[in-house]
Structure 1
Amino acid sequence: MLFLRVLASVACVLGLVVPGAAVAAPAQTAGSSASPAGSSAPSADEDAATGVVVIGASGLTLSDIGPERTPNLWSLVEDGASANLAVRTLTPATCAAAGWLSFGAGARMHSVDLTPDWFSPLLAHTSCPRMVDPVPASAAEAPEAEDPDAAEPSVDSDVSDDPEVPAGTPVAAGPATFEDFERVLAANAGSGYGADPGVFTRAAEDADWCTVAYGRGAAYAAADEEGRVETWAPTTSLVTDPTGTSADEEDEQILDSCALTLIDAGTAADPTWEPNAWHAWNDESLGRTRTGQIAALDARVGRVLEQTPDTSDVVVAGLGDADYPSRLRAVIAAGPSYEPGTLRSSSTRQPGLVQLTDVLPAAIGEVGLESEGTSPADFLVDPSDDAASRMDDLVADSRKAGTVHTHAQTFSVLLDVIHYVLTIALAILLLVPVVRTLRTKTPRTLTALRRYGAWVCFTIGLLPMASFVAGILPWGRVPAPGWGLTGAIALGTVALLALSVAGPWRRTWQGRVAAASLVSAVVLVVDVALGSRLQFNALMGYNPIVAGRFYGLGNQGAALFLAAALLGLGIVSARLLDAGRAVTARLLVAGFAVVSVFVLGNPAWGAKFGGTVAAIVGFTVLLLALFRIRVSILRLVLIGAGALVIIVGVAGLDYLRPPADRSHFGNFFGQALDGQLIEVITRKLEANLNIIVINPALAIVVPLSVFTVLFSLGYLKRYRTTAGLARPWANTLPPALAHPTVHAGFLSAAIALGVGLVITDSGVAVPATGAMMLVPMLVVMSVGIDREGVGRQGVDREGLGRGDVDREGVDCESPSATTVGGVSR
């Protein structure tokens, strides 16, 4: 008990020093007058919302909405808050049924075909599962209908006299049950996401509030674990008027019978679209068909709005995809709880972005309804009165997400191929026969290869970081966003090149590498502290369509940071040590380490579990080298264990915060306490294996990088037991790692990337991504002509002859005789 009190006290102090709410400082909590989302009592404020109506429309995007195309939806945009909606579930593209199930459970779910065995739609084995109506309780004993649609109850404008049905609901509404709903539970039993279809039903029973569902999708969301829906009616009871008296307001049905009303307004295309047939199901091919769907959808929304009381919140959400590939969809929230602006959820921490699983718990939380046991999300609003401007920003963000989602794999393969070519070319160019021929017959060719090859390798090493720097430019607004992204990456590369030659460090290749590396590391750390906007929608960052991470430092960003920071610090520390400034070198590394680990490991900023452990290990190894303390296997294990203990402690502190404020750290700690640790670890291992299967080219980068470093850069010849393996490249291997401190920087980076491989999810990508920057920079340091070194050592500018001293002062003829700064080692 005393330990928990101390832990809680430390958490409170951290909350004051580094408040998690700082990420959302500009925003205001939606419906500040409403009770928090964990309270079952409605707010006493007269202006607070008394209920919420959620209208689901699978496939709806913000680009579909406009003042003329969709006047009803546009009125909601003007009066409320809007955002892009990430609809990722357990498949790359989300069918309507999966979207509704995930929406209702507050967790990602699979969808299955619940149609009767005798009913088999065309291409049922590949298309989205056809949603069916639940069987009303009154029809449970009726003869089985030949058509699933025949189970729809009749529509009546009168209200029900059944005491179990909330007052004010139509006579068509009542209890209903899905047949074979256990198939849904079986399909999601091993997903690892803890999906619980009955969570809202139990919450409603415990807190004494009710839910009414209209339409098939709404029934999927409102069903409990047995497939039972307490109050259900077809959507036709809302969007059509069989009595022909809708002009009379007294005959209008008002949606105020329950605190929560779920309505399936249809989809933006055929609900049984083919997820894998991109040529048949996309915005371009659907053309006028989709335009008509959107117009009809807007008309249905307008009809629902006419029946919604002014005291209720209205949330319109595109709960799923309606074409391939998956894209961000639309979410709009209006009513007493929301002011005009840009919406975000506490789980994404990104302005203008909400997760599918956050919509329902956050929406009911704004009206003071109980939502425990579901996604602990809150809605927040960045106020803005200019609807057109914020819509343009959101559409641009959606286009960026789609472009990155489309081209991320291509960019990764491009870097892989470049890495392969670099490795093969370097191995060939350093072979003894090749070098001997170049030196004797074409010395100028050798000089040109060294000079221009160094610049090419340097540019290659900057490409990964340039993909992050590209986020500074608004390339999503150009007519062709793919070309805009290409141009932004090119400009980012040029900017990094300019920085590397803009100061006194430009005179040597080690100085240029150190400048580019440290600038990259600083930019990544600052970006994470400011909200991770460069990580967001980056080719090597994270994409909201994939919805794996929304804030903090991603795996590939962490890999680049580790490689850049540790290599750059190693080079700078070597220069400081040679100048007799050992204390300055140690303070520099220690200070950089403290700030970086604090930002990366802070749940309010970096929230990076494995990356922070890897960073602690890497910085500690480099500091031990600066203090001339030998790094043994035992010490390395102790360092890793200590780093793990620190991060677990931070996760425990994060867990003590309110659920809506927790980061990945706190959620992981909670899963461990709930006995889900094995499931989480299994899911992470599966993610690693999946990367190897779907992107084997990336996995091959790791052994190629080992080959490049060990052989081409002369690492093996440092040790007598492995020197024999480097004989094919005898007298040609450049000593890029000759300086012990530069070597320590490289070694600490390699160890940190290895720790990232073991401890992070999708860890295979960590060393592979780090190698994309680390290996080209090491090659640059090896083959580049150092003008300062040439002038100091008196080496022939036309190239290095056999037995000459290269730019680092190392006798190429004798691997054992090396000098550093003129002092023999």
Structure 2
Amino acid sequence: MLRRIAPALLTVLVVALGVTALAARPPQGTPQRTADFVVLAGIAGLRWEDVDPQSTPTLWRMAQDGSIGSLSVRSAHRPTCPVDGWLTLGAGSFAAWNGSRSVDGCPSAAVTVEQPDGIGANLPDQESVVQYNQQRLPWGAMPGSLSESVRCSVAVGPGAAVAAARPFGRVDRYASGLPADPRPLLGSCVLSIVDLGTVEGADPATRAEEARAADAELARVLAARPPRSLVLVAGISDTTQPARLHVAVADGPGWERGWLTSASTGRDGYLQLVDLAPTALAALGRPMPERLFLGRPAISTGGRPADLTEAINAPANADREAAAQRSVSGVFFALLAGVQVLLAIAILPLLRRARPHAGPAGPTPVSGRIVAVMELLLVAAALTVPAALLADAVPWWRGEHPGWIFAGVTALLVAAGTAAVRFVPGYANTLGPLGAVAGLTTLVVGLDVLTGARLQLNGVVGYSALQGGRYAGLSTVGLGVFLAGALVSGGWFAQRVHRGWRPAVMVAVGGLAVVVVGSPYLGADPVGAIALTAGVSVAAVISAGGWLTISRLAWATMAALAVGIGFAVVDLRRPAAERGSLGRFLSALGDGTGGFAVHRSSTENFETLVNSPLTVLALAGGLLVWFALLQPWGGLMRLFGIYPAVRAAFAGTVVAAVLGGVLDGAALDLMGAAAALVVPMAALASLRVLGHAADRTRPVAGRSPANGSDGADDDSGSGGVGPVGDGPTGGGGPLGAVHPRPITGPPPSAPAKVAIPASDTPGERRGDADEPAEPTASGSTPDAAPTVPVAPRQVSRSSTEIAAS
């Protein structure tokens, strides 16, 4: 009865952990009405490196008194051209201007602004722009949503007209430039949008001059601002490739000397362009439009350094790091994929020749030194991703050659990690390197997440703030290696305990990983937590042996669905403006606009599948496993037979990585990151198992399954049973390469029993003395390996003769 209800109890425990982790949220400041007027001042291309006391004294003083942050100017087009930035500002969602443009260029035609009455203005192209965003772009943005949310708005300059135009093209009040006295114009409506010009080019002198001109216009705006007003200054767009982070400053009551942040970024000092529209409405105390903005209202948080120079250096350094990360990341993953493919090719002949030949003649064994070197290379390959994550603790992006500096730091960390694994106690055991690498990876990623995921942000193996996809928590690569490391570590621990306790160990380790991944305080990835729940459930139900049956798969599926449904119910009970991605998606399905989200997800999956080097890693790892490791000569089936908990961990990793990649729009990226860790370790363990496939145990009197041992599945190593001869297992340790069924010496009067030698066919493993028998249909394990009675004098005969007889 306990065995029957165990899956249900474990499922309930995993579900409870998952829902608890997802439902808890860090406290967020609720935006309150803080102003009677809002002035949005945009300067296309303005970066923090352009701000200094000499060139931009007005902006410097404003930053000193107000709140500052780095602004990601993502729009529906890459790069975000000035017209795209202004349109995104007014839509509150990722939008883009239509018209002919090159792949990396901007529309050639200028914006047409008509002034038929001298008061307002009209944009004749607005209708076609709305249709373009509604019908051809996946975000379904509605240009003019910000101006539609207020009774009256003012636009100064052509860029501001694009942001302030209503969906039918009308601008309430318009001026091509600031008048001599801007007070009446800025005070005529609660919302004013001002185009202060553009800062572009690579020449520092040119940029300084353009920043100085924009700062002078900003001084006029501040001098004419209405009473009790909030002024937001933003570097509204990019002007060149590649994309950069830009200036964001808020000055007004309640915005004194802090960091700007929002719920859409979840990190102090970072803001998105789509956050500006809801910030303006929240400051005015106005309701959000029915079709919610993609952005969230910004708030001001504390913790900013008192010295403004030090405070500005933080977003300036983040901009430089993000720019360097873009150029280094692609090269790193391409090289990683290439190295792992070469290792996969190089290991094939070693696998072919690793198993000792039972006959009088056979292939020449591979040199032990070559095998040792290959093992170290596999360990180094598996540690490359966590080493690259740690390398971001060093400010490599500040150097003249950031790519080479990053490569040198990463290489040193890989060497240090490989040495640590090599000299860790238990390295000689079959699962020693696998457990050490998995544990080290989980520790590195977990500590980074527990300390605020600082190494993930703008890191080479993390996420870039320039992409506008994620600003806090786990990245796609971080999630892939973390879930693989956690599940494999759980399998390693579970293999060390009695069979009956293995599901509990897998649930304990995996449940803790679910909390780390899903908690908004930590990993902040609800989709990843749901996928990991399914993987943990699969690993738990088969960790004690047996196969993934329909009923066991049903329990795992029910656990993942229960976590997802539980979190969805909690999220939907929150106010609409406070819901997470899952709650907003379900709300969109309810009002008939969920097709945009489905279209976006499918588009992201396809683009990632085609363009990511991690796809190569996933495919190469899958080919190596399927066409080599899982073959009769590959060793992985033998490894799975001896260590069922490891097989369970690998199966759970595949389930979690595939499910998380599809649901999160990451395609095979999640699987590629997991494969970078799991496949080299699977190959290494397979090599070791094959190398000792012919090992046998010494007879030990008084020890047999009937004497209280766990039979063939006992890998505890108690009793001093070890393989005959010397090998890399180093004897019968807890995780030795060979855990055969001990042969009990018969009484003198009884015929001796000798185990039948192993067959090369995986389907005949029950006769192999160094592998445990698989559980029967009832879940039990046979008490003894198949034996044949022979006379005492026949013990000295060869294994081939015994088998023949």
Q: How far is 1:768 from its partner? A: 1.8
Match of 1:331 in 2: 248
Instruction: String of CA shifts for 1:394-427, please: whole Å, max 9, x gaps.
Output: 2111212112222222122111111211121122
Partners in 1 of 2:284 and 2:402 — Cα distance?
Answer: 40
Partners in 1 of 2:350 and 2:380 — Cα distance?
Answer: 19
Partners in 2 of 1:667 and 1:590 — Cα distance?
Answer: 30
Match of 1:619 in 2: 536
Match of 1:774 in 2: 678
Q: How far is 1:495 from its partner? A: 5.6
Do the aligned partners of 2:94 and 2:141 also contact (CA within 8 Å) in 1?
yes
Alignment of 1:255-404 (within 5 A): 255-269=186-200, 283=202, 286-309=203-226, 311-372=228-289, 373-374=292-293, 375-384=295-304, 385-404=306-325
Match of 2:157 in 1: 215
Match of 1:59 in 2: 45
Instruction: String of CA shifts for 1:410-453, please: whole Å, max 9, x gaps.
Output: 122111111211121122443459999xx999989721221111
Instruction: String of CA shifts for 1:487-517, please: whole Å, max 9, x gaps.
Output: 4534543564465357544453522321331
1:755 and 2:659 matched: yes
Match of 2:75 in 1: 89
1:191 and 2:137 matched: yes
Q: How far is 1:538 from its partner? A: 2.5
Match of 1:418 in 2: 339
Partners in 1 of 2:643 and 2:22 — Cα distance?
Answer: 41
User: Aligned match of 1:687 in 595, 600, 604?
Assistant: 604
Partners in 1 of 2:768 and 2:458 — Cα distance?
Answer: 47
Q: Which one scores higher on RCO, CA 8 angstroms, separation ≥ 6?
A: 1
Do the aligned partners of 1:93 and 1:325 also contact (CA within 8 Å) in 2?
yes
Q: How far is 1:331 from its partner? A: 0.7
Alignment of 1:693-772 (within 5 A): 693-695=610-612, 697-713=613-629, 715-717=630-632, 735-737=638-640, 738-772=642-676
Q: Which amino acid aligns with 2:113?
A: P
Q: Secondary structure at the match of 2:149?
A: helix
Match of 2:723 in 1: 793
Go from structure 1 to structure 2 and tell me whether the alpha carbon gap of 1:820 and 1:590 turns closer, same or farther (over 3 Å shift): farther
Q: How far is 1:798 from its partner? A: 9.8
Go from structure 1 to structure 2 and tell me whether the alpha carbon gap of 1:626 and 1:112 turns closer, same or farther (over 3 Å shift): closer
Q: How far is 1:776 from its partner? A: 1.0
Go from structure 1 to structure 2 and tell me whether the alpha carbon gap of 1:351 and 1:310 turns closer, same or farther (over 3 Å shift): same
Go from structure 1 to structure 2 and tell me whether the alpha carbon gap of 1:287 and 1:474 turns closer, same or farther (over 3 Å shift): closer
Any gaps of 5 or more consecutive residues in structure 2? Answer: 1-14, 696-720, 731-735, 741-756, 774-783, 786-805
Do the aligned partners of 2:486 and 2:513 also contact (CA within 8 Å) in 1?
no
Partners in 1 of 2:244 and 2:356 — Cα distance?
Answer: 52
Q: How far is 1:545 from its partner? A: 0.8
Q: How far is 1:582 from its partner? A: 4.3
Partners in 1 of 2:371 and 2:20 — Cα distance?
Answer: 53
Partners in 1 of 2:258 and 2:397 — Cα distance?
Answer: 21
Q: Secondary structure at the match of 1:343?
A: strand
Q: Which amino acid aligns with 1:754?
A: V
Match of 2:711 in 1: none
Partners in 1 of 2:396 and 2:261 — Cα distance?
Answer: 22
Go from structure 1 to structure 2 and tell me whether the alpha carbon gap of 1:520 and 1:798 turns closer, same or farther (over 3 Å shift): closer
Q: Which amino acid aligns with 2:253?
A: P
Do the aligned partners of 1:589 and 1:623 also contact (CA within 8 Å) in 2?
yes
Go from structure 1 to structure 2 and tell me whether the alpha carbon gap of 1:797 and 1:529 turns closer, same or farther (over 3 Å shift): closer
TM-score by length of 2: 0.79
Match of 1:21 in 2: 26
Match of 2:557 in 1: 640
Match of 2:57 in 1: 71
1:229 and 2:176 matched: no
Larger CA deviation: 622-631 vs 215-224: 622-631
Q: Which amino acid aligns with 2:594?
A: L
Q: How far is 1:643 from its partner? A: 0.9
Any gaps of 5 or more consecutive residues in structure 1? Answer: 1-9, 38-42, 115-120, 139-171, 270-281, 718-725, 801-805
Instruction: String of CA shifts for 1:552-583, please: whole Å, max 9, x gaps.
Output: 33332222122211122112211223xxx743
Instruction: String of CA shifts for 1:435-475, please: whole Å, max 9, x gaps.
Output: 99xx9999897212211111111011111122323344444
Partners in 2 of 1:15 and 1:570 — Cα distance?
Answer: 24
Q: Secondary structure at the match of 1:614?
A: helix
Match of 1:550 in 2: 471
Q: Which amino acid aligns with 1:191?
A: L
Q: How far is 1:132 from its partner? A: 2.3
Q: Which amino acid aligns with 2:391?
A: A
Alignment root-mean-square deviation, CA: 3.7
Q: Secondary structure at the match of 1:262?
A: strand
Match of 2:486 in 1: 565
Go from structure 1 to structure 2 and tell me whether the alpha carbon gap of 1:784 and 1:256 turns closer, same or farther (over 3 Å shift): farther
Q: How many residues align?
A: 700
Do the aligned partners of 1:574 and 1:742 also contact (CA within 8 Å) in 2?
yes
Do the aligned partners of 1:64 and 1:294 also contact (CA within 8 Å) in 2?
yes
Match of 1:155 in 2: none
Larger CA deviation: 761-770 vs 259-268: 761-770
Go from structure 1 to structure 2 and tell me whether the alpha carbon gap of 1:15 and 1:707 turns closer, same or farther (over 3 Å shift): closer
Instruction: String of CA shifts for 1:534-564, please: whole Å, max 9, x gaps.
Output: 3322223221111122233333222212221
Q: Which amino acid aligns with 1:342?
A: W
Q: How far is 1:743 from its partner? A: 1.9
Partners in 2 of 1:798 and 1:262 — Cα distance?
Answer: 72
Q: How far is 1:342 from its partner? A: 2.0
Match of 2:510 in 1: 593
Go from structure 1 to structure 2 and tell me whether the alpha carbon gap of 1:618 and 1:19 turns closer, same or farther (over 3 Å shift): closer
Partners in 1 of 2:336 and 2:760 — Cα distance?
Answer: 35
Q: Which amino acid aligns with 1:262?
A: I
TM-score by length of 1: 0.77
Partners in 1 of 2:534 and 2:587 — Cα distance?
Answer: 25
Q: Which amino acid aligns with 1:808?
A: V
Q: Secondary structure at the match of 2:168?
A: coil
Percent identity, aligned pairs only, is: 27
Partners in 2 of 1:113 and 1:678 — Cα distance?
Answer: 25
Go from structure 1 to structure 2 and tell me whether the alpha carbon gap of 1:288 and 1:443 turns closer, same or farther (over 3 Å shift): farther
